[in-house]
């Protein structure tokens, strides 16, 4: 018998001062049986960083041809493709062929560092790709905030995030490892 996804609900308020985006989102996240709270919460952070009415969660771990999050315009063109974790270079190259913009949000401490060292020369050739890394201590603290029903407030300013959840606060400092020219 196959294990089912666990459903999480997040009432998210985003104040993105960098993009002048202010909105509330009622999100439903399906955590795959093989997914950790840490990875699920990093997916949520990806949503916070690129929050938009058209941004949606993909099938993620359940589908090879969909990202963790994506945004399509009204014509069906993929304007943003977001991968969470340590995606294969080939997968990112394929995503760059399908989307206007691709973001890889890596995490995992030493594993993320090794992934970047091994892949950075190939990834630098992908002109639509951004690579962002979250520190291990930050993602572990983020995982501790995971609840089946969450109420989160997020402020984004100068690329940093301040989260408030259940009376706890967390400051995340994503590090940009790669950004397209002009971005």
Residue 14 lies in a domain: no
Residue 11 lies in a domain: no
Task: For 123-137, write each residue's pLDDT tens digit.
Answer: 999 999 999 999 999
* Percent above pLDDT 70 for the chain: 95
Residue 112 lies in a domain: yes
pLDDT band, residue 122 (cuts 50/70/90):
very high
Residue 43 lies in a domain: yes
* Percent above pLDDT 90 for the chain: 86
What's the number of domains the chain is made of? 1
**68: containing domain:** 20-178
- What is the model's pTM? 0.94
pLDDT (mean) for 66-85: 96
* Four-point Cα dihedral 149, 48, 37, 59, nearest 10: 100
pLDDT band, residue 161 (cuts 50/70/90):
very high
Residue 72 lies in a domain: yes
Residue 15 lies in a domain: no
Of 77, 23, 95, 26, nearest to 52 by C-alpha is: 23
Query: Residue 3: pLDDT above 80?
Result: no
Tokens of 148: 């089946």
Q: How far apart are the first and last CA of the chain?
A: 47
pLDDT band, residue 182 (cuts 50/70/90):
low
Query: Residue 63: pLDDT above 70?
Result: no
More confident residue, 59 or 103: 103
Q: What is the DSSP letter of 174?
A: -
The pLDDT score that the predictor gives to residue 86 is 96
- The rounded distance, in Å, linking the Cα atoms of 182 and 85 is 25
Task: For 4-54, write each residue's pLDDT tens digit.
Answer: 889 999 999 999 999 999 999 999 999 988 899 999 999 999 999 999 999
Of 34, 29, 38, 36, nearest to 7 by C-alpha is: 29
Residue 10 lies in a domain: no
Percent composition of the chain: helix, strand, coil (DSSP 3-state, to 5):
25, 40, 35
Residue 98 lies in a domain: yes
* Phi and psi torsions of 84, nearest 5°: -115, 135
CATH number where 129 lies: 3.10.640.10
- The rounded distance, in Å, linking the Cα atoms of 21 and 47 is 13
pLDDT (mean) for 80-85: 96
């Amino acid at each position: 018998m196959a294990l089912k996804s666990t459903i999480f609900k997040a009432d998210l308020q985003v104040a993105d001062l960098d993009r002048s985006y202010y909105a509330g989102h009622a999100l439903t996240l399906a955590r795959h049986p093989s997914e950790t709270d840490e990875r699920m919460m990093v997916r949520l952070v990806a949503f916070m960083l690129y929050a938009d009415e058209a941004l949606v969660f993909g099938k993620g771990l359940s589908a090879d041809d969909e990202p963790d999050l994506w945004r399509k315009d009204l014509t069906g063109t993929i304007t943003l493709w977001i991968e969470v974790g340590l995606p294969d270079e080939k997968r990112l190259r394929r995503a760059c062929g399908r989307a206007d913009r691709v973001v890889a949000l890596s995490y995992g401490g030493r594993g993320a560092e090794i992934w970047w060292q091994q892949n950075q020369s190939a990834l630098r050739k992908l002109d639509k790709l951004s690579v962002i890394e979250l520190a291990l201590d930050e993602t572990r603290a983020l995982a501790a905030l995971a609840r089946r029903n969450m109420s989160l407030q997020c402020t984004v300013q100068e690329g940093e995030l301040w989260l408030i959840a259940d009376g706890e606060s967390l400051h995340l400092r994503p590090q940009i490892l790669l950004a397209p020219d002009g971005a």
